[in-house]
Amino acid sequence: MIQTMRWFGLNDPVSLMDIRQAGCSGVVTALHQIAVGEVWNESAILERINIVEADNQQFTTLNWEVVESLPVHEDIKKGLPTRDIYIENYKISLQNLAKCGIKIVCYNFMPVLDWSRTNLNYEMPDGSRALRFVWEDFVIFDLYILKRPNSQNDYAEEVQISAKKKFDSMTKEEISGLRNTVLLGLPGSEEAFELENFQGLLNNYATIGDTELRQNLYYFIKQVAPVAQELGVKLCIHPDDPPFSLMGLSRVVSTENDLAQLMAACDVNANGITFCTGSLGVRADNNLPKMIERFGNRIHFLHLRTTKREKNLPGDVSQNFHEAAHLAGDVDMYEVVKAVVLEEKKREKEGRIDAKIPMRPDHGHQMLDDLHKKTYPGYSAIGRLKALAELRGLEMGIIKSMA
């Protein structure tokens, strides 16, 4: 695996030198300063490349390995007539990235919300902090903070009763904290959703169910994947996080069957997957090693992390979970990495130049000195360094055992 780490730009408290010292040869980054839907021009791309590579003459080589993410405009997700304008802009951005030598592009198709959590500072038994999602808390936000019309129809009576009881006991500070956590914007962005405008964003999807959202995704990929194929660019969709419906919004990239349908919708290698073991691993019905075996040729990027499923309340249709240590939790990381190593060996035998798959240790516990610093949720340095060391050692052990 090609070892990388996510970097949010010059304002990221984790520096490029930190990433270099962690043993990475690549960074995963994006042009967060460019509005969603606008073209990424060559000058902006080259500027970011030059920043990443500035110290390569003096220190070990560090390259911009993967774009995460080139966001998909909401008009495309909603299937509006204006989507073709944004799809054309997307194609131009892919062309400019290819001209600059950037060939792996991650994206997602989650409507309105990107990834969602209800607690960004969940204290673990060892005192470190993790990200957590609790269905009951999300119900509190939906029913009693946002007050989405008819939202009670989406939740079992037992959950509503429990959520109301908990909400009535919460302080103003706790309510504010939950509101701000759910409304958090994209990773790397300083902007969050405003509660006053949020319902309007949801209303835009009132007539867009599972079928319609899938059709809009397939329309998009049929337009852009053939262009990416010609450019030698690999597109890789990130699974839904968490992998189930939220606030009436459909999620269509959550299961093995979802991925199979998407791969078949445009059967070219450029239509690929960001295989996120944390997102997919929340669902007990996703067999991750088997999925790697099935989709291996279309996996262009890896997010390795694990989550721990928690006990649910009666009537829950979802799953409570928290981010676990990378070699703990419900993801069998040994079997996952073994499946990846086998896929890479298969590619090597085929003589492919993309035999090694870029990987980043996704998320990490906030720990040690980072507990006293302001960091992006899930992206503190030391927790990810620990994860990278564990994953690197696991990979080496597997490779040695196969030799």
Whether 332 is catalytic is no
Can you tell me the distance from the alpha carbon of 342 to that of 399, in angstroms, rounded to the nearest whole number? 9
SS (H, E, C) the chain: CEEEEECCCCCCCCCHHHHHHCCCCEEEECCCCCCCCCCCCHHHHHHHHHHHHCCCCCCCCCEEEEEECCCCCHHHHHCCCCHHHHHHHHHHHHHHHHHCCCCEEEECCCCCCCCCCCEEEEECCCCCEEEEECHHHHHHHHHHHHCCCCHHHHCCHHHHHHHHHHHHHCCHHHHHHHHHHHCCCCCCCCCCCCHHHHHHHHHCCCCCCHHHHHHHHHHHHHHHHHHHHHHCCEEEECCCCCCCCECCECCCCCCHHHHHHHHHHCCCCCEEEEEEHHHHHCCCCCCHHHHHHHHHHHEEEEEECEEEECCCCCCCCCCCEEEECCCCCCCCHHHHHHHHHHHHHHHHHCCCCCCCCEEEECCCCECHHHHHCCCCCCCCHHHHHHHHHHHHHHHHHHHHHHC
Whether 276 is catalytic is yes
Rounded to the nearest 5 degrees, what angle is found at the Cα of 271, between the Cα atoms of 268 and 272?
120
Whether 365 is catalytic is no
> 86, 363, 365, 370: which one is catalytic?
363
Can you tell me the distance from the alpha carbon of 299 to that of 73, in angstroms, rounded to the nearest whole number? 23
> 303, 322, 326, 365: which one is catalytic?
303
> 32, 276, 322, 365: which one is catalytic?
276
Whether 24 is catalytic is no
Can you tell me the distance from the alpha carbon of 76 to that of 83, in angstroms, rounded to the nearest whole number? 5
Can you tell me the distance from the alpha carbon of 318 to that of 62, in angstroms, rounded to the nearest whole number? 40
Can you tell me the distance from the alpha carbon of 103 to that of 151, in angstroms, rounded to the nearest whole number? 42
- Chain-centre distance of CA 251, in angstroms? 14
> 75, 258, 362, 370: which one is catalytic?
362
> 32, 73, 238, 300: which one is catalytic?
238
> 90, 107, 144, 379: which one is catalytic?
379
Q: Smallest Cα–Cα separation from 248: which of 160, 109, 149? A: 149
- Is beta strand 306-309 parallel, antiparallel or unpaired with respect to 299-304? unpaired
Q: Which residues are catalytic?
A: 238, 276, 303, 362-363, 379
